[in-house]
């Protein structure tokens, strides 16, 4: 129950100008007037039942969508082409894959551990008529074999990027990895770009995009 309240608190935190790191970590409470909104016991019970129904386990990071101009920059840095296969690990509403499919006509695969996000993704894919190109499934990204991808997109957390390294280093040589805002300790990025973007709450800030090409240079 405690954790289920973190996302709205985190969203409020970002709206108030807190750092993305603090907002995205699902285990870090953001100071708010939470006690004022403390749900009643029945609400807690209902929420618990909802959580159980919709999620096998807690996401490692809360949902926070990448602004569209940052999505465009990620795909540009990765030099996505029609024959590429793009994987978005923790795909949210699948906006990165939908954009890649519409702009470049390439295939995309996304996984999210939260079934609400998977449902939103499938709706987004349908609305944009890219069902033939984009596939989204519920799944834990730490169990995936990434060998069929040649572009991987990430908007997670630095420590989650590091946790993914054993999977990412098995990508085919020449595969590109792009990460919104977060680096990957131990892997030197080939390029880092900073740009301004407004998040979905209308708050403008600086965003970074990191690019690595497999095999990456160690740092």
Ligand X SMILES: C[S@@+](CC[C@H](N)C(=O)[O-])C[C@H]1O[C@@H](n2cnc3c(N)ncnc32)[C@H](O)[C@@H]1O
**Which residue's CB is nearer to ligand X, number 16 or number 21?**
21
Q: Does 73 bind ligand X (CB under 6 A)?
A: no
Instruction: Give the whole-angstrom CA distance, residue 20 versus residue 22.
Output: 5
Beta-sheet pairing, 151-154 with 85-89: parallel
Among 13, 64, 86, 214, binds ligand X (CB under 6 A): 64
**Which residue's CB is nearer to ligand X, number 78 or number 96?**
96
- Alpha helix positions (H), the chain: 6-15, 20-24, 41-54, 68-77, 95-104, 115-127, 158-168
Instruction: Give the whole-angstrom CA distance, residue 5 versus residue 12.
Output: 11
**Which residue's CB is nearer to ligand X, number 92 or number 108?**
92
What is the x/- site pattern for ligand X, positions 92-131, by CB under 6 A?
x--xx--------------xxxx--x--------------
Among 11, 61, 177, 197, binds ligand X (CB under 6 A): 61
Cβ atoms within 10 Å of 38's Cβ, excluding its own = 9
**Which residue's CB is nearer to ligand X, number 32 or number 68?**
68
Among 83, 142, 188, 195, binds ligand X (CB under 6 A): 142
Beta-sheet pairing, 151-154 with 176-180: parallel
Residue nearest to ligand X (CB): 90
Give 214's contacts (C-beta < 8 A, 6+ positions apart).
Answer: 168, 169, 171, 172, 173, 174, 175, 176, 177
Q: Does 152 bind ligand X (CB under 6 A)?
A: no
Tally of CA atoms within 13 A in the half-sphere of 91 that contains its CB:
34
Total residues in contact with ligand X, by rule CB under 6 A? 24
**Which residues would be at the binding site for ligand X (CB under 6 A)?**
24, 59-61, 63-66, 88, 90-92, 95-96, 111-114, 117, 140-142, 155, 180
């Amino acid at each position: 129950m405690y954790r289920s309240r973190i996302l709205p608190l985190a969203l409020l935190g970002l709206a108030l100008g807190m750092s993305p790191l603090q907002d995205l970590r699902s285990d870090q409470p953001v100071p708010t007037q939470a006690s004022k909104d403390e749900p009643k016991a029945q609400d807690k019970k209902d929420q618990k039942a909802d959580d159980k129904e919709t999620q096998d386990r807690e996401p490692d990071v809360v949902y926070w969508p990448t602004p569209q101009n940052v999505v465009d920059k990620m795909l540009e840095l990765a030099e996505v082409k029609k024959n590429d296969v793009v994987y978005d690990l923790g795909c949210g509403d699948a906006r990165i894959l939908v954009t890649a499919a519409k702009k470049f006509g390439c295939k995309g695969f996304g996984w999210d551990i939260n079934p609400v996000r998977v449902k939103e993704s499938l709706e987004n894919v349908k609305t944009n008529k890219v069902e033939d190109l984009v596939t989204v499934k519920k799944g834990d990204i730490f169990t995936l074999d990434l060998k069929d991808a040649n572009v991987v997109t990430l908007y997670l957390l630095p420590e989650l990027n590091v946790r993914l390294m054993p999977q990412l280093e098995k990508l085919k040589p020449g595969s590109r990895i792009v990460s919104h805002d977060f680096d990957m300790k131990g892997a030197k990025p080939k390029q880092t770009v900073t740009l301004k973007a407004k998040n979905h709450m209308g708050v403008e800030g600086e965003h970074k995009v990191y690019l690595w090409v497999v095999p990456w240079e160690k740092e």
